Structure 1
Amino acid sequence: MLTAIAYGLAILLNLMILFIGLRFLFAPWAAAAGYGVPATKDIAYLTIKGVRDSSYGLVGLALLAFAGAQAEAWFMLVVALVPLGDTVVVLRNGGTKAVAFGVHFATAVAVLVSAALLFAV
């Protein structure tokens, strides 16, 4: 049962970050609004975020499929720094605490829980 939960949560989180990345590529202004910091007219940074997030999602899925739970756990542990950094970015750039903690910090916690579960299997 623990293995199914660990793998299921990891797959869900990787698919979610892949979706977020694709959203930044195909609907950048809406994605930026959901991120919590207003976007400027320069779309390059939104595209970079889309490529980054999509890549993280694909790498996570590939690790889970081809390298196993331990490799995915280490990946999740390291990649949790991204939503923690996003929390700081939102707070330092006029975003609300609700988005910073309710979206980004909560995501970091979920990723760390996923890493712990994967280490346990």
Structure 2
Amino acid sequence: MLVTVAYGLAIAVNLLCLLIGARFLLVPYAAAAGYGVPATTDRAYLTIKGLRDGAYGLIGLALLAFAGAHAEAWFMLLAALLPLGDTLIVLRNGGTKAVAFGVHFATAVIMLLTAALLFAV
């Protein structure tokens, strides 16, 4: 049961990274608004964010498939720094606390929980 939950959460988080990356590539301004800091210019930076998030999703899936739960756990643990940083970015740039904590900080907590579960299997 623990293995199923740990792997399921890891797969879900990685797939969500892929979806977020695709959203930033396909509809960058809407994605930026959902991120918590709307943008009207700087499409290049939004594209970079899309590529970054998509790559993290692919790396996570590859680690899980080819290196196992322990490697994925370390990846999740370290990658949780990204949504923690996103929390600060949203707060420092006029975004709402609801988005900063309800989206980004919550994502970091889920990633840390996933890492803990993967370390346990």
Task: Give the TM-score, by structure 1 length.
Answer: 0.99
What code does the residue aligned with 1:11 have?
A: I
What code does the residue aligned with 2:94 have?
A: G
Is 1:22 matched up with 2:22?
A: yes
- Asked if the contact 2:29–2:40 (Cα under 8 Å) also holds between the matched residues in 1, the reply is no
Alignment root-mean-square deviation, CA: 0.5
Q: Distance in 1 between matches of 2:29 and 2:105?
A: 22
Stretches (4+) displaced over 3 A? none
Q: Distance in 2 between matches of 1:21 and 1:84?
A: 17
Q: Distance in 2 between matches of 1:40 and 1:74?
A: 36
What code does the residue aligned with 2:44 have?
A: A
Q: Distance in 1 between matches of 2:32 and 2:73?
A: 28
Task: Give the TM-score, by structure 2 length.
Answer: 0.99
Q: Distance in 1 between matches of 2:40 and 2:71?
A: 37
Q: Distance in 2 between matches of 1:41 and 1:66?
A: 39
Q: Distance in 1 between matches of 2:38 and 2:120?
A: 39
Instruction: Give the deviation of 1:64 after TM superposition.
Output: 0.2
1:75-109 C-alpha deviation (Å, 9 max, x unpaired): 00000000000000000000000000000000000
Instruction: Give the deviation of 1:28 after TM superposition.
Output: 0.4
Instruction: Give the deviation of 1:41 after TM superposition.
Output: 1.1
Number of matched pairs: 121
Instruction: Give the deviation of 1:39 after TM superposition.
Output: 0.8
What residue in structure 1 maps to residue 32 of structure 2?
A: 32
Q: Which moved more, 1:39-48 or 1:2-11?
A: 39-48
Q: Distance in 1 between matches of 2:115 and 2:56?
A: 15
